[in-house]
Amino acid sequence: MAIKVQGTVRAALQLLVSDSQDNAALAAQVDAGFPALVIPASADAIFDKKATLVASGTVDHDLAGALTNPLRAVVTFARVFAIAIAADDANVNDVVLGGASTPFLGPFADATDKLKIPPGGAALLQAKGPTGWVVTPATADLLRVANGGAGTSVGYRLIVLGSSV
């Protein structure tokens, strides 16, 4: 089966800023569209996982290992084009992305970098262009998701989009 992923990844802000002062209403609109990622033709790997981590728990997603796509086929990433992560609203603790022992560096500056997602928060990271971020099997291929605290579990959804070549 030849897998193909098509679409566009987008993020935008549409805001209305207003203030009433001396009975005169002031308003301004802020529209900020970030560069859209047109998914490269080589995109054939997607991982989509909704999961719960126990208190203080971690899970390492091996991007060059045995992850499965939504069609339940095994995927092995050679390149990553986008990562989306969302923390459940009901979480008490943060969800933490990054910091594995042989970490996928992708958008991170170094192996110890982590991104904290607060309860109800989300992040979208994208690499524009056909090359994306390189996944190096065995030495730089783990994408860690961790519970940022003790006492309660956390729920999250992680989506990774990339290619196997």
Are 37 and 9 spatial neighbours (Cβ–Cβ below 8 Å)?
Answer: yes
Contact (Cβ atoms closer than 8 angstroms) between residue 151 and residue 54: no
Mean pLDDT of 98-124: 95
Residue 66 has pLDDT above 90, yes or no: no
Q: How far is CA 4 from CA 39, 72, 79, 133, 145, in A?
A: 10, 14, 15, 19, 26
Which of 16-20, 38-42, 45-49, 56-60 is predicted with the least confidence, judged by mean pLDDT?
16-20
The pLDDT of residue 112 = 93
Domains assigned to the chain: 41-163 (2.60.120.10)
* Tokens 């086929």, located at residue: 73
pLDDT at 92: 97
Q: Is the pTM of this model over 0.75?
A: yes
pLDDT, tens only, 128-153:
878 899 999 999 999 999 999 999 99
As a whole number of angstroms, the distance between CA 162 and CA 165 comes to: 9
DSSP secondary structure of 73-90:
-EE--SEEEEEEEEE-TT
> Quick check: 118 pLDDT over 80?
yes
Token output for 93: 């603790």
**By three-state DSSP, how is residue 152 classified?**
coil
Let me know how many helices (H) and strands (E) the chain has, helices first. 0, 15
Cα 136 from Cα 77, distance rounded (Å): 9
